[in-house]
Amino acid sequence: MPRRALLAAPALLAAPAVRAQAPAFPNRPITVTVPFTAGGPTDVISRLVAEGMAKDLGQSVVVENVTGAGGTIAAGRVASARPDGYTLLSHHIGHATSATLYRALPYNVETSFAPLGVVSDAAMTIVARPDFPANDLAGFMAEVKRQGDKLNLAHSGLGGANQLCGMLIQHAAGTPVTTVVFRGSAPVLTEMMAGRIDVFCDQATNTAPFIRDNRIKSYAVTLDRRAEGLDLPTTAEAGQPAIAMSTWHGIYAPAGTPEAVQERLAAAIRAALREDRLKQRFAELVTEVATPEQATPAYHRRHLAAEVARWRPIIQAANVYAD
């Protein structure tokens, strides 16, 4: 064989190995699927995180709103997506509670997803119409027990955080009330100011402007700590520790996504949470930024499992299901 051919042989043998090498992740845009409409708290939070992730990853991170069925349509789409890190889910506490609210899901809430990190934690607020006959949480709970189903309690859809908080109130009071379903929080608050809705429990993101202007009565926040910017006790401080919850958000990939890709995405989430613009906007939404520990796959996985277990008996006791 001529010397020139012998010299070329190693390069030819190495060429297939070079061609087989996988491109670095990510090498194309990533889609974050959001199960609620544009402009709502989950959408705003998701877009802020996506913006920060894009800076860190050097690729576009596009938010797609896929609504319906309490977020389960969007979750199902991501669960069945190719596990390559290019299709993600951004969801709130409703992802955990859907494991019980929906008895025939086409996926498993815990095993069909790879949790990448919790990104935020928001307080719920217990509020009532302006002339509601109670001035503190003890009086509020006494009225719920006394009036029972004569009271109406609003929520904005099955599986939503405000429905879950309403369940906690009824569970703690040991008394069912009449529930009224609305499409979104805005019409609930309008009706409440007019005196046609008695009680409501919703994210501080939605209620804070009305609370600050004294347009509705407010009693407590449901976190284990006070919400910055709201002069309200926690439910534990007000004698109702069982009414405790937060509207937390997390990012998920499909199960089977390579560990290295999960780690890269989780690092991008943590980078996004360090952005000053995100921190400022979260503060305006009365939403806390997750800590670096919370924004890890290990913490998120444990937290999701704990929330699924915690809400299962509460939902079963209420005997309220979405299917």
User: How confident is the model over 54-89, as pLDDT tens digits?
Assistant: 999 999 999 999 998 889 999 999 999 999 999 999
Distance (Å, rounded) from C-alpha 32 to C-alpha 87? 6
For β-strands 199-203 and 113-128, DSSP reports them as antiparallel
Q: Which of 171, 165, 148, 140 is nearest to 238 (CA)?
A: 140
Between the alpha carbon of residue 16 and those of residues 10, 11, 25, the distances in Å are 11, 10, 20
pLDDT at 205: 87
Locus of tokens 């609504």: 67
The pLDDT value recorded for residue 22 is 63
Pairing type for strands 178-181 and 199-203 reads unpaired
Evaluate if residue 319 carries a pLDDT over 90.
no
Collect all residues with Cβ–Cβ distance below 8 Å to 24 and sequence separation of at least 6.
none
pLDDT band at 318 (very low <50, low <70, confident <90, very high): confident
pLDDT value at 13 more than 50: no
49 to 39, 68, 226: CA distances (angstroms): 14, 22, 24
Is residue 10 over pLDDT 90?
A: no
Is the model's pLDDT at 5 over the cut of 70? no
Rounded CA-CA distance 216/210 in Å is 6
- Give the contacts of 52 (CB within 8 A, at least 6 positions apart): 268, 271, 272, 273, 274, 275, 278
What is the per-residue pLDDT across 202-234, written as a single tens digit (0 to 9) for each? 999 899 999 999 999 999 999 889 988 899 999
| Res 64: pLDDT | 98
| The pLDDT of residue 18 is above 60 | no
pLDDT, one tens digit per residue, over 112-141 is: 999 999 999 999 999 999 999 999 999 999
* Residue-level pLDDT at 47: 98
How far is Cα 169 from Cα 55, in angstroms, rounded to an integer?
A: 42
Which amino acid, one-letter code, is at 45?
Answer: I
How far is Cα 48 from Cα 279, in angstroms, rounded to an integer?
9
pLDDT value of residue 154: 94
According to the model, what pLDDT value does residue 20 have? 53
Residue 21 pLDDT level (bands cut at 50, 70, 90): low
Nearest alpha-carbon partner for 44 in 243, 317, 277, 267: 277
Query: Whole-angstrom Cα distance, residue 201 to residue 230?
Result: 15
**Residue 130, CA distances (Å) to 59, 116, 157 in order:** 49, 42, 23
Per-residue pLDDT tens for 284-308? 988 999 999 999 999 999 999 999 9
Dist CA 195 CA 182 (whole Å): 15
d(CA 106, CA 126): 34
- What's the pLDDT score for residue 323? 78
Q: Which domains are seen in the chain, by residue range?
A: 30-122+246-318 (3.40.190.150), 123-221 (3.40.190.10)
Give the pLDDT confidence of 250-259 residue by residue, as tens digits: 999 999 999 9
152-155/178-181 β-pairing: parallel
Question: How many percent of the chain have pLDDT more than 90?
Answer: 79
Which of residues 20 and 279 earns the better pLDDT score? 279
- Give the mean model confidence (pLDDT) for residues 6-31: 64
Which of 289, 282, 292, 272 lies closest to 55 in space, CA to CA?
Answer: 272
Residue type, 269: I
Residues 264 and 260: their CA atoms lie apart, in Å, by 6
pLDDT value, residue 184:
82
Confidence bin at 8 (pLDDT 50/70/90): very low
Mean pLDDT is lowest, of 19-33, 180-194, 205-219, for 19-33
